[in-house]
Amino acid sequence: MADTSVQSRKDTLDKDLDKFVHVGEAASFLSRGLVAPGLALLFLALSAVIASLYVMGQPGAVVIVAAAAIGAYMALNIGANDVANNVAPAVGSKALSIGGALAIAAVFETAGALIGGAEVVATVSRGIIAPESVGQPTIFINAMMAALISSALWINLATWIGAPVSTTHSVVGGVMGAGIAAAGLWAVNWFTMSGIAASWIVSPLMGGVIAALFLAFIKEAIIYQDDKIAAARRWVPVLIGVMGGAFAAYLAMKGLSRVIPMGAGQIAAVGIAVFLGVWALAHIQVRKASEGMENRNQSLRALFKMPLIISAALLSFAHGANDVANAVGPLAAIVATVQANEVTGAVGIPLWVMAIGAIGISIGLVLFGPKLIRMVGQQITRLNPMRAFCVAIAAAITVILASALGLPISSTHTAVGAVFGVGFFREWYTANSSRRKAYLERKVDRERQARNGKKAAAAKADRKREMPSELEEDLPLGIAGYSFGVAGETSGAGAEIARRKLVRRAHFTTIIAAWIVTVPAAALLSMAMFMLLNLIS
């Protein structure tokens, strides 16, 4: 009887100890989830402290400090939502790990914002609302504050539900809504708005077309050539050179021209010179890296990994130059208005304002970006390093051109449009390419001859190994266990696969719907926020 009592106490003690263990594990899990929000709050506090150091003792210092914290909050949300588009192709193609992508993006986002962001900041801060239409500084400050708060809240909500919305849409909608609430429809510079609205349509189309053209070239000139390695040695250095030349021309336009006056011809000369230099270096590197490689698509993927990483860095730089405006454009307008105590057309961009936007975008990416990185890079269409390179370089070229013109286009539209462009082109090319069909027929003929000889077993192993790189690349996401007959014809379950699409239509419709809703939602929220701020002040 005593033994039974002792055993019961032991069982009860074990159960109690298990409960304590589970409680400890649950507490540890919850605490990990609070690390990112805690670090984000710390950054907001530091931003407010930094702003106070620069404006301490000045009239309206409290307003500037509050605006700096809100601008930092906006920058965090841009990093969490928008920057994912820059590195998602590299992550989705497995060329970069999440950690590596975050590190590259953080460095180049910050550099792009500090070097090339001032022009676009001026467009956002003063180009959407006509300054003369809002005569009182307090009203203008409340309008800019409402725009910051509303756009940041909307992007935060979108990130939480996993929707890659346009942060440019959000901030422009917020500024427009606040301007309408402050002074009516006529306060908005509709000429500027029409140009921005046109860019929202042009940018995804341009990104998609450029990406599709790059992919068409790679397929025709490299992938569906009998000697893939020789074709890659010829053309991969050219592609890397194009990327290097574009990056150099942009740096010359944004950086060197401030020190040394440079015209369009001189900037073009810099781009061409760097293209030739990068091409020569890449030619040597690609030839060395391709020695001993098998004549397989898997080998091509290895050759494209480094160009893809470089293009991801280029896109991050371009995004930093263009989208820092979304975080600190309204903040710069608030600072200028408070310090001048009047609403004027001229606006200076203090370095500390740019730094808050640049660093905030990078921190937001590191803390909250992985969710949307996986969505854009892995769930819309199947990406490999070659397709991801096309997406990244197309988005970079488009965003660079827009930033050079001082036009705050949507980098989300551009990058996601490039992903869709690659996917839809693959659908068309798989169904219509005569080169692909002829290549697969030649491949099957070689395999048939091998089966008739002593190398039947080896040919079967090669076919099994080649199938993912030659045919699976044109299958929808999530397909496995497919079977193909001669010349790539599908049979049985393969017929169902052939009817499926390479781009997930559900994501396409969802993203388009989110793009349409963002501007009016941000504008309405900004109107409400402006009225609330007016009541408080």
Average pLDDT, the chain: 76
**444 and 420 in a common domain:** no
Whether 348 maps to a domain, the answer reads yes
DSSP string, 90-137: HHHTTSS-HHHHHHHHHHHHHHHHHHH-HHHHHHHHHSSB-GGG---H
For residues 414 and 264, is the Cβ–Cβ distance under 8 A? Answer: no
Whether 413 maps to a domain, the answer reads yes
Q: In Å, how far from its chain's centre is CA 148? A: 21
**343 and 299 in a common domain:** yes
Give 107: exposed, middle or buried? Use CB within 10 Å, 0-12, 13-18, 19+.
middle
Whether 343 maps to a domain, the answer reads yes
pTM of the predicted protein model: 0.74
**89 and 109 in a common domain:** yes
**191 and 78 in a common domain:** yes
Give 264: exposed, middle or buried? Use CB within 10 Å, 0-12, 13-18, 19+.
exposed
Whether 172 maps to a domain, the answer reads yes
- Where does 252-342 have alpha helices with state H? 257-259, 264-289, 297-340
**445 and 302 in a common domain:** no
**460 and 340 in a common domain:** no
Task: Write the pLDDT tens digit of every residue in 505-515.
Answer: 777 777 788 78
Q: What is the reported pLDDT for 469?
A: 47
**351 and 448 in a common domain:** no
Segment 354-359 shows an average pLDDT of 84
Residue 289 predicted with pLDDT over 70:
yes
CA-based nearest residue to 152, from 536, 448, 521: 521
**203 and 73 in a common domain:** yes
**483 and 338 in a common domain:** no
Whether 192 maps to a domain, the answer reads yes
Whether 311 maps to a domain, the answer reads yes
**Domain extent at residue 466:** 434-499
Radius of gyration of the chain from Cα atoms?
27
Residue 493 predicted with pLDDT over 50:
no
**328 and 467 in a common domain:** no
Residue 162 corresponds to which amino acid? G
What angle do helix axes 61-81 and 137-161 make, rounded to 10 degrees? 30
381: helix, strand or coil: strand
Q: What is the reported pLDDT for 19?
A: 55
Task: Write the pLDDT tens digit of every residue in 151-162.
Answer: 999 988 888 877
Whether 202 maps to a domain, the answer reads yes
Q: What is the rounded CA–CA span in Å between residue 92 and residue 301?
A: 13
**162 and 46 in a common domain:** yes
Segment 182-195 shows an average pLDDT of 77
Task: Write the pLDDT tens digit of every residue in 94-151.
Answer: 888 888 888 888 788 777 777 766 555 555 555 666 666 666 788 888 888 998 899 9
Torsion of CA 430, 432, 435, 438, to 10 degrees: 90
Number of domains making up the chain: 2
**318 and 203 in a common domain:** yes
Q: What is the reported pLDDT for 127?
A: 61
Whether 3 maps to a domain, the answer reads no
